[in-house]
Amino acid sequence: MNIQPGNLKWPYLGLTVIAAVLYCSFQGRLVLSGPFGTQTAWSSFQPPAPPARDRTIFPDEEEAEGEKMPEEWLNRIHKAAPGDDWKSIESNSIRQLIEAKLNGSPVNLSGTWRERGPANIPGRIVDLEMDYENNRIYAHSDHGILFRSDDLQGNNWTALNDQFPLGLDVASQLKVFGDGHIATCGWIKVDNYWGTYHSNDEGQTWQASTGFSGRQITGIRRMAKQADTLYLFMQEYDPDLVSDFYLIYRSVDKGASFSKFYQSAIPVGDGGRHNKSDLWVSNESQDPNLYLMLEDSLFLVNKATGQRTFNSLVSNLAVEQGLLTGLTKDGVTKLTAFIAVNGIGKFYGWNSADQSWLYKGELTDWWLALPFGPNSFTCSQLSADTLYFGALLTSKSTDGGASWTTMDLDPTGSYALYHGDVPKTLSAFNPHTNQEEIYVGTDGGIYRLDENGHFNSISIPGLNCTQLYKMISRQSNPGEMFIGTQDNGYAHTNLGNSQNGVTDFTFQWGGDVTNVASGDGGATFWLWWLGDGCNYMSGSDQVVSTWSPYDFNGGIPYWEAPVWIPSQFPDRCYTAGFLNNNAGNYLIKLQANPGGPATPTQYSYNFEAGVGAKISALAISPLDPDYFYAATENGYFCRSIDGGVTWQKTLLSASMYPRVIHPSETNLGEVWVGGSGYSNSPVFHSANNGQTFSAFDSGLPSCRVEAFASNEDETILFAATSVGPFACELSESAWSDISGTDGPLVQYMDVEYLPAIQTARFATYARGVWDFQLMITSTNELSGGREQIMIFPNPAGEFIRLEGSAELVGQPYRIMDATGKAVIRGRLDGRRPQIDISMLSSGIYFIRTGGINKGRTLKFVKL
């Protein structure tokens, strides 16, 4: 693929096969391109954009109900033994972490947390509420974190439950009361179950709502609010009666407790029947009825008695999905029903005057016809004929659904002027202005419609719910960060050292950037869009080389491709797949070529034939470039000492999906492997180059390990896991949760260690980038030391001196630069040894004395 100016082609949007959402850094606006035409060029680079063919591993990737990663991929990377429910096991691990915090369990490693951003690239918002009484906005993000703004303009967002994640995905719903009570429902992460929680102190503490039947909840379709009363429409299953039921529960105490209000049996039930039904509660509290659409039938449920009355059939069609919205005005209630049939969205109108349904119109384009989630459909608070429907984009109708307009496209109709994927549409009436306000929650945060019909973000800055896959920082300047995100593509910043508070990033390219990796401390790095292609970068927007498997009749059959960049050859990228239509799974080397496509080389060893599965993780020893490592999807660790020509294998666990390999930077042949740890240890360790392994999970709950990083002398190993951040002081061989009271308890996807600032930097899949800075225990000595050693002068010019006990004499030492590279080695010749540093360039350095378990690390500045 050639690097060309103009006519940008973008990789795939989060989960969709065609449309690609891209974020334009111009004035913070978002741009969507895809099936609407050719877009304007915004930079001089053409990233890889493979054709829609050959997406062989995920045949059904359409964005129904707002799915992100395909279910097949999620199940693959969460591998467990048959009969072991990874979701239940993981939720129990999260519960244990929460309880440990409440009990004040000690943390072995001390440090402070700092939220780094992005401040201006928010992620998916699935529900939102306007609190006009207190001039605040509440938002529910995709991964169960609730946010609150300080005003109605969306300024100064605060996360309310970083230590207690709630509802996951687009079915989550939120209701807010003016006195600080909050209720939310959905698939609750900490319970691994459908549930409802409430808070009576503005989100500081949370309690499970009570009053439910105890039967299995198969889905909560709607939480509706009328004055101070909540209604909850759901589906339950009774195994004793072998029957499903539709139920409405009612709460008169703002979600603290519920009582059963309505129940009807489902003659032929399955767990998803509620997705074809909906409940609408009138905006007028005097209305005596609730409006319940059970698939194609409308029932009126009396609010006083809970008794239902059949009213009418909606469409006389086989319903695949159903939603209901409406408005009561001037004594007349008007309803609009959405019915999905064969992938087409049909709309029907009803009013209380004639009480019959009339077909109005339909949406047929696949990116517009199906709702992104159950919160995606609403009508205006001024006119029931004005409708808003969220799919990949937002559509508007002013005639009750007869005709539709895709909102806020550019003048050519080529792309949208806001971020696509719309789990939430909201019409709210502002009592301060006596004006209606229209909001959408998207994969790029919250937008409000202005008087000119344009959507403008009200979540920038500060709504940090960014979903990161991977990241790299520049070790020589830790304030430079490069991140890959879900659906918000690739972004970067150089403001990390200078900007106070959460840092702004610059959006560069869209899509799903699932890997960012470097072999030279971030001086150069590789970006990967799923398995569809990659760029080799020398700076934030400086492209050296590109590559796509489709140009070589190949495939990289992963949502998140395994990638390794060797420190000896940072312009090489190793991944796994096949070229030239070969069957099997092979190691592939990409050699970057400045100004052109990378040159691929497929190694001869077929892992599917030799080991029985695809490669799932890769590594090369930083101490010997011939020491290659690979792990496979069936739980094997493979090693090669001849540069990947021949391989030997060792079984880790048949129930493990290995995700990451971490070779030691100090001991050749020492290696750690992390991955799915639900039926086995999440981490295995080998001291003999993978000939044998032992479990390395003391203190680590059952989880999935995504990434490792070690500090500059490899005395501490950090792990990013699916339940939180962990660290292990290797002399103790025990892990501890380091999230404390400030680090969010969410899914952590990546970690790197920055010696210059003694910081472990984590990427999360819910709350952006966070720094954990190790606590310094004395003026010169880093945490982990046992005796104080003084270093002077500091800063220094020509030499440094160390002062300590007699144990210093004869000890080995090494001086490392900010990237961790050893630049001077030697042995100390006395209790006050002097070391010549005149040959060093100006900057920050570290001196390490002694061995791994008894060493000391000190920081100094060379003038």
Annotated domain spans of the chain: 790-862
> Is the predicted pLDDT of residue 155 greater than 70, yes or no?
yes
* pLDDT score of 497: 84
Lowest mean pLDDT among 106-115, 403-412, 776-785, 834-843: 776-785
> Is the predicted pLDDT of residue 28 greater than 80, yes or no?
no
Q: Residue 572 — pLDDT band, cuts 50, 70, 90?
A: very high
3-state DSSP call for residue 565?
Answer: coil
* pLDDT score of 754: 96
* pLDDT score of 850: 67
**525/7: higher pLDDT:** 525
> Is the predicted pLDDT of residue 528 greater than 60, yes or no?
yes
Q: Residue 22 — pLDDT band, cuts 50, 70, 90?
A: very low
Lowest mean pLDDT among 229-233, 455-459, 551-555: 455-459
What is the pLDDT averaged over residues 497-509?
A: 89
* Cβ atoms 175, 186 nearer than 8 A: no
Picking from 540, 674, 616, 726, the residue whose alpha carbon sits closest to that of residue 97 is 726
Looking at the domain covering 790-862, what would its CATH class be?
Answer: mainly beta
Task: Return phi, psi of residue 274, to 5°.
Answer: -65, -25
**818/28: higher pLDDT:** 818
What is the pLDDT averaged over residues 61-81?
A: 72
What is the pLDDT averaged over residues 505-509?
A: 94
3-state DSSP call for residue 631?
Answer: strand
Give the strand order in the sheet containing 405-406.
Answer: 377-379, 387-390, 394-397, 405-406
What is the pLDDT averaged over residues 626-633?
A: 98
> Is the predicted pLDDT of residue 651 greater than 60, yes or no?
yes
Give the pair of three-digit tokens for residue 794. Answer: 């500091």
Lowest mean pLDDT among 252-256, 504-508, 714-718, 781-785: 781-785
Q: How would you classify the pairing of strands 455-457 and 445-449?
A: antiparallel
> Is the predicted pLDDT of residue 51 greater than 50, yes or no?
no
3-state DSSP call for residue 387?
Answer: strand
CA distances to 480, 486, 633, 716, 759 from 61, in Å: 34, 15, 22, 40, 38
* pLDDT score of 484: 97
* pLDDT score of 393: 96
Give the pair of three-digit tokens for residue 220. Answer: 């909560």
* pLDDT score of 813: 83
The span from the CA of 394 to the CA of 424, in Å, is 10
What would you measure as the largest C-alpha separation in the chain, in angstroms?
Answer: 99
What is the signed CA dihedral for 116, 118, 120, 126, rounded to 10 degrees? Answer: -110
Q: What is the pLDDT of residues 358-403, one digit of tens each?
A: 999 999 999 999 999 999 999 999 999 999 999 999 999 999 999 9
> Is the predicted pLDDT of residue 507 greater than 70, yes or no?
yes
CA distances to 93, 435, 552, 739 from 107, in Å: 17, 52, 51, 9
Report the mean per-residue pLDDT for the chain: 88
DSSP 499: S
> Is the predicted pLDDT of residue 223 greater than 60, yes or no?
yes
What is the pLDDT averaged over residues 633-650?
A: 98
pTM for this entry: 0.85
Q: What is the pLDDT of residues 235-245, one digit of tens each?
A: 999 999 999 99
For 535, how many CA atoms within 13 A lie in the half-sphere containing its CB?
27
What is the pLDDT averaged over residues 693-707?
A: 98
What is the pLDDT averaged over residues 272-289?
A: 95
CA distances to 661, 684, 811 from 852, in Å: 20, 20, 12
> Is the predicted pLDDT of residue 18 greater than 70, yes or no?
no
What is the pLDDT averaged over residues 720-733?
A: 95
Q: Residue 799 — pLDDT band, cuts 50, 70, 90?
A: confident
